[in-house]
Amino acid sequence: MTKSPKSRETSSNPRVLWLIPTLSSRFGGPTTTATNGAVAERAEGLLTEVATTVGPDGPGDSKAALDRLEAAGVPTHAFPRRGSSASLESWGVSLAMSIWILRKVSTFDVVHLQYVWCLSSLLGCLAAKANGIPVVLTPHESLTAYDTEVASRSGSKKLLKKILRHLYLRTVDRIIFMSELEERDTDAGNRATVRIGHAVAERTFADDRESSDSSELPMKIGFIGRNIPKKGIDRLIRALACHPELGWHLLVAGPPGTDEFVTEQSELSKSLGVDDRVEWLGFVDDRTEFFRRCDILAMPSEYEGFGMVAAEAMSHGLPVVVPERTGVSEIVSEFGAGIVIADPSVPNLSAALLEFDEQREAWPTFSRNGLRAVDQRLTFRAYGSSLRGLYSTLI
Give residue-wise pLDDT tens across range 73-104: 999 999 998 777 777 788 889 999 999 999 99
- The least confident of 65-69, 188-192, 199-203 is 199-203
CATH number, span 15-199+379-394:
3.40.50.2000
Q: Which is higher by pLDDT, 150 or 187?
A: 187
- Mean pLDDT, residues 198-227: 75
Q: Collapsing DSSP states into helix, strand and coil, what is residue 88?
A: helix
- Cα 378 to Cα 145: distance, rounded to the nearest angstrom: 25
Residue pLDDT, tens place only, 365-385: 999 999 999 999 999 999 999
Q: Which residues contact 333 (CB under 8 A, 6 or more apart)?
A: 340
220-377, CATH topology level:
Rossmann fold (3.40.50)
- Mean pLDDT, residues 117-128: 95
Residue 207 has pLDDT above 70, yes or no: no
Residue 6 has pLDDT above 50, yes or no: no
For residue 102, CA distances in Å to 4, 79, 83, 89, 130 come to 17, 14, 22, 20, 10
Residue 2 has pLDDT above 50, yes or no: no
Residue pLDDT, tens place only, 124-147: 999 999 999 999 999 999 999 998
Same fold? 15-199+379-394, 220-377:
yes
- Mean pLDDT, residues 216-226: 92
DSSP β-bridge partners for residue 379: 201
Residue 71 has pLDDT above 90, yes or no: yes
pLDDT of residue 284: 86
Q: By C-alpha distance, which of 303, 309, 292, 304 is closest to 367?
A: 292
- Mean pLDDT, residues 143-161: 84
Asked whether 121 and 114 are in contact (CB, 8 A), the reply is yes
Q: By C-alpha distance, which of 221, 198, 368 is closest to 290?
A: 221
The per-residue pLDDT of the chain, averaged, comes to 90
Where do the structural domains in the chain lie, given as residue ranges? 15-199+379-394, 220-377
